[in-house]
Structure formats: C-alpha cells, structure tokens
Amino acid sequence: MSFEVVATDGAARAGVLATAHGDVPTPAFMPVGTKATVKSVDPDELRALGASIVLGNTYHLHFRPGEDVIAELGGLHAFMGWEGPILTDSGGFQVFSLRDTLLAVDDEAVTFRSVYDGEAERLTPEDAAAIQAALGSDVAMCLDVVLPPSVPRAELEVAVRRTTEWARRQRAAPRAPGQLLFGIAQGAVDPELRRRSTEEIAELDLDGNAIGGLAIGERRDEMFETTAWVAELLPADKPRYFMGIGDPEGIIEVIARGVDMFDCVLPTRTARTGSALTWEGRLNLRNARFARDSRPLDESCTCPACSRFSRAYVRHLVNQQELLGHRLLSLHNLRFLIDLTAGARAAIERGELASFRADALDRLAAGSATKGA
C-alpha cells in the first residue's frame, strides 16, 4: 500500500491509494454496492462514470449468498464483475444500527439476530477478518462499536475501549493476499474520548484510518468541527476515510478538513425517490413544473441521462415507475458526486482548494435559493 502526497492546500491533499486491483486517486467517492451491486448500475457503467473504487457490505454478503459461495466463485471481484478496487466494511455499523436485532455486546464479540432469518449470530473481530478475507476485498475495515448520539458517556467510553481492542485483535488475524486493513476511530463528539480513540487507532499503524460514528444524528456543525481536528491527529501519509457522507456540501466540507475517502448510499437512494443532485440543488422530478422542461438534469453534466434526455422525459419515467428513470437518475447522481470529487482533487493539485470550496458552496447555495424562489 502506498499513499503519495501530491499537493497540499490547507488540511487536505491529493494522493493515490495503491491496491492490488489498481490505484485510487484521492479524494475519492466510493459508490456503495451493498449486496455486490451498486443498485441498477452495471460495473462498466460505473467505470465510465469515473468510479475508481466501490464499497461492499460484509454483513449482507455474509448472510446472502455467504462468503464461502463468493470465495468458491473466485472472490468478490469476479462475483460482481468489478475489476477495480473494493473496500468492505466490517459489518459493525449494520449490527449496531439495527438495534432491534442487537442482543448483547461484551469484550469478546457482539451478538445479534440476522435480519434475514432471525437466527442469533455472534461476530468477533476475528470473524470480521475471516469473512472479509474470504470475500477478497482490497481494503478490509476493522470491527468497531458504533453507538447512537447522546448515549451515556460511560457507554461511549466502553465502546472506545472495545473498538481499540477489537482493532488490535483484527490486526493479528489472517488477511487475503495483499489486503489492506483500516482502523476506525469512535468517540462521537466527546472531545476527550474522540481524541483517545483517534490516537489509539493511529498508534496501531494500520494501512489507513477512518472517522466513524459521525453523520448519524449529531449537529452538523459539531460533525464538521470534530472532523477537522480529528483529521489533523491522523497520519497524513495514510488515507483518512469519513464513513457515510454523500451530500455535495458535506463532501466539499470534509475534503477541506482533510478527508481522502468517503461513501454514502445517498446518490442511488435519492435516485429511487425520483430526485436528482444538481448545481441547482436537489430536484424532485415528480414535480409538475418539470413536465415540459426540455433542459437536461444539469447543464454542465455529460452523464448518459444529461447527454440524451430531458427533465420532462425523466419525470415521465419516474412518474410511470419505469425502471429506466431510476437508472438514469442513479447514473446522473453518481456522476455528479464523482465529478465534484474530481474537481476538488484537481483544485488541491493546483493549490486552489480554498477557492474551489468557496465557489462550489456559493454555487450550490445560489442554485438552491433560485429553485426555492
């Protein structure tokens, strides 16, 4: 693994994450392929959109179809037909976010019920490592303890301790050949516990480090403030990954604070609700005002939707529940965020991130204001 510093502008910098299946220029947006597919989008289309890495979900792939099946069929790359790098999460976020299925947590493991059949399952850091090794991803994430905002501080302190210990145990577990391992810092927005977790995870000297436990309900200003000083504590020569952010303004802000990688289901989930991400803000294509609108979704975009079809046509598809409508919006929303990230990367290389950030945020705000007028 290598992470080369190309340029510096403020806290953030452009670099390259080298993996067995290709390099990932950073900052990088990772489309989410929860069940070994980015919903409705073909791998060749992903590559054409400019995606360099995708995320797979360990929890769901473990239960359906099972890591043994995927391994037998050549690993996750062959199984899903994606030749580029893949990052797999540990399954921890799903276990802890599906709180109705959570049975117990102790120092050894977390016990929960599967959302598929209700059977009890116990997940240790060694299990998370073994599942991801069988999947054969390029980057494996450590199992961590993710708590909702505003839990008692005593619970948060235990979660931080377990997150560090579980990362230490997973570091010692076998991996797939060439597989990188990223740790995850927790601590919510508690300054002392977040600092402790960040320093402890960084000291493990893993291949990369993630900022977890944010963008899950805390105030947005707290999230950005925490991200800024946490990023400064993490090694600059290793990727810094913010888990679970995907709105355009949020992506720009975390890049400016030093983040190199991020993921979110927002672009495809938003597409399935009939909405497009644009420089005018989020467009709800179900709205009657688009019925005769001959413009593309976004004038500056060259995705398959914008290069061929009008807002009126996409609205027609969405309102008639035609699958093509959801596909076109997914392609567009992914391209929009990938292009936004590429623009930030180019600005970093030019030493102009601060002006890029200001211009992009002003443009997004002006577009939203015009739309709402």
What residues are annotated to the active site?
Answer: 89, 263
Strand partners, 55: 32, 87
3-state helix, strand, coil in the chain (%, to 5): 45, 20, 35
* Closest among 15, 16, 97, 111 to 57, alpha carbons compared: 97
Scan for tokens 């076998």, then name that residue: 174
- For 78-101, letters b (16+ CB in 10 Å) and e give ebbebebbbbbbbbbbbbbeeeeb
DSSP H or E segment with residue 261: strand 261-264
Give the Å distances, CA to CA, from 190 to 155, 263, 369: 12, 23, 34
Cβ atoms of 31 and 51 closer than 8 Å: yes
Phi/psi zone of residue 334: left (φ > 0), alpha (ψ -120 to 50 degrees), beta?
alpha
Return the axis-axis angle of helices 248-256 and 220-233, rounded to nearest 10°. 30
- Positive or negative, the Cα torsion across 305, 309, 314, 317? negative
User: Which residues neighbour 346 within 8 Å (Cβ) at sequence distance 6 or greater?
Assistant: none
